[in-house]
Amino acid sequence: MFELTLPNKWINKMDGLSNKGGVLGVFFMAFTLVLISFSCTGPIVGSVLVLSAGGAVIKPIVGMFAFSLALALPFTLFAAFPKWLEKLPKSGGWLQEVKVILGFFELALALKFLSIADQVYHWGILDREIYLALWIVIFSLLGFYLLGKLRLPHHAESKTTSVPKLLMATLIFSFVVYLIPGMIGAPLKALSGYLPPLTTQEFVLQENNLSNNGLAKVSPLRGDGRGDCPEPLYADLLHLPHGLQGYFDLDQAKKCAKAQNKPIFIDFTGHGCVNCREMEARVWSDPRVLEILKKEYVVVALYVDEKTKLPKEDWYESEYDGKTKKTIGKQNADYQITKFTTNSQPLYVLIDHNEEVLTTPKSYDLDVNNFIAFLKSGVKKYKEKV
């Protein structure tokens, strides 16, 4: 493992300035703490900031509050009970082991962010099975490290394994066993938000049962006597889960909806949206939900972080921020903000082909029955209008 630290010269300089009295001294004392602690906590805080940049509200607030509480609480307690400092264990081998364990977890989480970039830019270097294989190797190595079978430089040899380490190793290897079926297409719903989509996996031992029972044969892209729908744009880059057929361009979806006399299901989503993947794995996968989506709606997925650049004639200047929107993602995000005054994903909107909203849009909610009621209310409102 490699340990990245800030130059000691910087830390010593700030520490020297913190010895000055007054407000300036307090400022540099706090700044020194930031320099020292953020080299360790930066990756954790960075994850929270990424969620915030993606439009999430509650999770970043809770995450930053928990981080600030955890950072401030020890100093508060030691200030109130200074004798506790004498009982703290001295730094040594145990601290080095903690760093190594956290290092393994950081390696695994780093793959998550690389996976997002891979999906956004369509590099195709980190498909689901490759991602899972790397996780299996990383966590297997962590398990062997906890058992003392893997030694790193500067680590003393240990002939025994403590009970806490044995319990941790058991949990780690159990997690590895859980991951292995994912290599042949198991959905791994508990991790759906952190894995690349199943559509990126080349080998799937058994297709989704919903496809096998005939539901997937219901295609929303043919008009049943009302005229054919256009061939979906960007289908070579973007995909819908669970065998769903649909669009990635709203204008195409409106044409198909008009031809089929169906309402439109808009899915504002993103390659890096954890909650979107979780909704697809836990809610969309329900047979009742899929049946409604496949039979009653024209589905359109609007990716707000898709980097594909559009032809120059399709660019436009946003009324919201005055900036020129050149990519698929920028235009989809601008449409969501200007039309529905929100930039969080997932957001599910039910409209007709004239873009009239049929019912209150829905966001992240893992209650399947609530989602079914939402879909049925849209169908009911549409039929009442017709």
> In terms of domains, do 46 and 138 share one?
no
Does residue 293 belong to any structural domain of this protein? yes
Least confidently predicted of 37-41, 149-153, 250-254, 326-330: 37-41
Number of domains in the chain: 3
Confidence at residue 42, expressed as pLDDT on a 0 to 100 scale: 58
Per-residue pLDDT band for 29 (boundaries 50, 70, 90) equals low
Give the pLDDT mean for 208-229. Answer: 48
Does residue 206 belong to any structural domain of this protein? no
Closest CA to 211 of 244, 171, 251, 255: 244
Confidence at residue 181, expressed as pLDDT on a 0 to 100 scale: 95
Confidence at residue 141, expressed as pLDDT on a 0 to 100 scale: 96
pLDDT at 114 over 70: yes
Which tens digits make up the pLDDT trace of 35-49?
656 555 555 666 666
Share of the chain above pLDDT 70, in %: 78
Does residue 313 belong to any structural domain of this protein? yes
> In terms of domains, do 297 and 174 share one?
no
Dihedral in degrees, nearest 10, Cα atoms 68, 71, 74, 76: -50
Output the furthest CA–CA distance in the chain (Å, rounded). 83
Give the pLDDT mean for 210-235. Answer: 58
Q: Which domain holds residue 6?
A: 1-88
| CA separation for the pair 210, 366 (Å, rounded) | 19
Confidence at residue 47, expressed as pLDDT on a 0 to 100 scale: 62
| CA separation for the pair 157, 155 (Å, rounded) | 6
Per-residue pLDDT band for 34 (boundaries 50, 70, 90) equals low
Which one has a higher pLDDT value, 119 or 89?
Answer: 119
Does residue 209 belong to any structural domain of this protein? no
Whole-number average pLDDT of the chain: 84
Confidence at residue 46, expressed as pLDDT on a 0 to 100 scale: 63
E strand map for 220-364: 246-247, 264-269, 298-303, 316-317, 324-325, 347-351
pLDDT at 89 over 60: yes
Which tens digits make up the pLDDT trace of 115-174?
999 999 999 899 999 999 999 999 999 999 999 888 877 666 777 788 999 999 999 999
> In terms of domains, do 368 and 222 share one?
yes
> In terms of domains, do 68 and 146 share one?
no
Does residue 28 belong to any structural domain of this protein? yes
Per-residue pLDDT band for 23 (boundaries 50, 70, 90) equals low
Does residue 358 belong to any structural domain of this protein? yes
> What is the CATH number for 305?
3.40.30.10
- Token code pair at residue 260: 């089929």
Does residue 140 belong to any structural domain of this protein? yes
Does residue 106 belong to any structural domain of this protein? no
Confidence at residue 81, expressed as pLDDT on a 0 to 100 scale: 83
Which one has a higher pLDDT value, 331 or 274?
Answer: 331
> In terms of domains, do 251 and 381 share one?
yes
Least confidently predicted of 101-110, 146-155, 317-326: 146-155
> DSSP H helical segments within the chain, as ranges?
8-18, 22-53, 58-80, 93-121, 128-146, 163-179, 209-212, 250-260, 274-279, 287-296, 328-340, 368-385
Share of the chain above pLDDT 90, in %: 53
Give the pLDDT mean for 291-303. Answer: 97
Confidence at residue 56, expressed as pLDDT on a 0 to 100 scale: 66
Give the pLDDT mean for 59-86. Answer: 81
